[in-house]
């Protein structure tokens, strides 16, 4: 009672090809393990360690101006590590690199001004400060509510290290 066997064969072939494409697109077990490992230690990249990986400012007022928090970054290895570049996820957030009282920056979001490479080498066991400033008024009246921002530390030992800040912005 099949009216056109070519149509049925075509549909079965298309379904089979679709299944093969889905199967091939799945991540390998190695990729899955890498994702699990990345989620287990988000505050460490190679030899770089943050004393705290995130900070919540709580409720902050636009009218009171910028808020800031300092993050301690340490190279735990016996080898030097280079901080190549510092960027932020939004123009309302700036980060400054400070070593022995001398600061470089502030560094912001790519596309909102120059974000040069800093290429600062951290010696073994050296500790520096990353000062993160958030301007709650940067987005104007539409910027109220919960925010989450990220500072990215590109380095010579692996994936960028992420520093996360959050707050609830009020007028």
Q: Express each pLDDT in 69-110 by its tens digit.
A: 999 999 998 899 999 999 999 999 999 999 999 999 999 999
pLDDT band at 40 (very low <50, low <70, confident <90, very high): very low
State how far the Cα of 108 lies from the Cα of 96, in Å rounded to an integer: 9
> Whole-angstrom Cα distance, residue 163 to residue 83?
14
Which residues neighbour 109 within 8 Å (Cβ) at sequence distance 6 or greater?
87, 88, 89, 90, 91, 93, 115
State if pTM tops 0.75. Answer: no
- The more confidently predicted of residues 75 and 114 is 75
Contact (Cβ atoms closer than 8 angstroms) between residue 160 and residue 152: yes
**More confident site: 68 or 9:** 68
Half-sphere exposure of 26 (CA within 13 A, CB side): 7
């Amino acid at each position: 009672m099949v009216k056109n066997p070519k149509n049925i064969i075509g549909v079965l072939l298309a379904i089979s090809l679709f299944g093969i494409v889905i199967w091939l697109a799945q991540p390998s077990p190695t990729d899955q393990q890498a994702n699990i490992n990345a989620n287990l230690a988000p505050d460490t990249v190679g030899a770089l360690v943050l004393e705290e990986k995130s900070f919540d400012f709580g409720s902050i007022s636009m009218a009171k101006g910028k808020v800031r928090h300092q993050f301690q970054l340490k190279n735990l290895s016996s080898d030097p590590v280079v901080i190549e570049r510092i960027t932020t996820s939004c123009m309302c957030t700036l980060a400054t690199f400070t070593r022995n009282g001398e600061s470089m920056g502030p560094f912001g979001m790519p596309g909102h001004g120059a974000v040069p490479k800093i290429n600062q080498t951290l010696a073994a066991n050296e500790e520096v400060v990353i000062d993160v400033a958030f301007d709650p008024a940067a987005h104007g009246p539409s910027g109220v509510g919960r925010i989450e921002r990220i500072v990215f530390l590109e380095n010579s030992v692996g994936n960028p290290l992420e520093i996360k800040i959050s707050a609830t912005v009020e007028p």
